[in-house]
A and B are shown apart, each in its own frame.
Chain A
């Protein structure tokens, strides 16, 4: 598909990796600094929305296809439920922070601390990012009026 002008394409091809890295940083440091799984996941999704706006829907779909996005979505949900059930198995109650209490206390203010919390953040970030990408992809597939390509002025 056509996409936007060459200026938008060039700049967004530089910026997309920075946005993606910032999303990963927000997710990984969610237990130390403001942010967390949800905000980081939305930032990951918005980097793909930038691709979709600048290069058209087909290009974004080549990068992350619809079945792959739905697999990431399911993997995130499964990981989060698995962490909860592992807390039941090893700690005795649903959602117990068993890693911090028994196996890997870690030091506060370090990256590896807080037990299961970084793992939960990663799972939620994967889930939220993939599902928001899926929403926007299905919206852009299904509505003829809602094309993520072409100039903004609307003459197509």
Chain B
């Protein structure tokens, strides 16, 4: 149990540093520390599926961010923060905190399953009948691709739409650059 609190403190410190530092590369590295810390957290909570996905996506995102920040001329953030933006974010965080108190009270204790408190929860059905109904040894895969395949279809659609949007937006500029290659 102690390892979770150590990881939580590590993640919170890294997140605060990532927001507060003026060095762009340092901020990117702190974002990576947050991602790897949460992936370790998933691993200790016995969710290897999510841990694998988190660590792989984190590595790819870090590569992109580091390549994007390291070749810029300006790697330091200059100027002060806007007063209005700070006020708005503090108010929003306070409202979410107030709503979160009610939600956290209704959650089960850390590390216990949901169906310990709600016996009719759907996850009990997945665990007890997942192998018989879908035939997959990995219950997470049986939930993702059989019981809740609509979610996966939506996820694939989101990715597809994102690709279409990115290529359409970047196309005009790309053509211009391709016609006049590196000088």
Contacts and interface: CB of A to CB of B under 8 A. Distances in A.
A114 B136 contact: yes
Interface of A: 26, 30-36, 38-39, 42-43, 45-46, 49, 53, 70, 73, 76-77, 80-81, 84, 94-95, 97, 100, 105-106, 108-109, 113-117, 120-121, 124, 127-128, 131-132, 134-136, 138-139, 141-148, 152, 154
Contacts of A108: 131, 135-137
Q: Is the interface of B mostly helix, strand, loop or mixed?
A: helix
Q: Is the interface of A mostly helix, strand, loop or mixed?
A: helix
Q: Most chain-B CB neighbours within 10 Å: which of A39, A109, A128?
A: A39
A39 B136 contact: no
Interface in B38-59: 48-49, 51-53, 56-57, 59
A31 B137 contact: yes
Interface bin, chain B: 35 or more
B138 A31 contact: yes
Q: Most chain-A CB neighbours within 10 Å: which of B64, B72, B135?
A: B135
Interface string B130-169: 0100111110111011100110110110011011001100
Nearest to A138: B170
Given A76-B156, A116-B145, A141-B170, 19 more contacts: A39-B52, A39-B53, A39-B56, A73-B163, A80-B153, A81-B153, A94-B150, A95-B149, A113-B135, A114-B134, A114-B135, A114-B142, A115-B134, A117-B142, A117-B145, A120-B152, A127-B156, A142-B177, A146-B68
A107 B147 CA distance: 19
A36 B141 contact: yes
B153 A84 contact: yes
10 contacts: A26-B52, A34-B52, A34-B140, A36-B53, A36-B144, A114-B142, A124-B156, A134-B163, A138-B166, A154-B71
A38 B166 CA distance: 20
Given A31-B142, A142-B174, A53 B152 contact: no
Given A108-B131, A115-B135, A136-B64, A147 B71 contact: yes
A105 B163 CA distance: 36
Interface string B13-57: 000000000000000000000000000000000001101110011
B127 interface: no
A77 B156 contact: yes
A84 B56 CA distance: 27
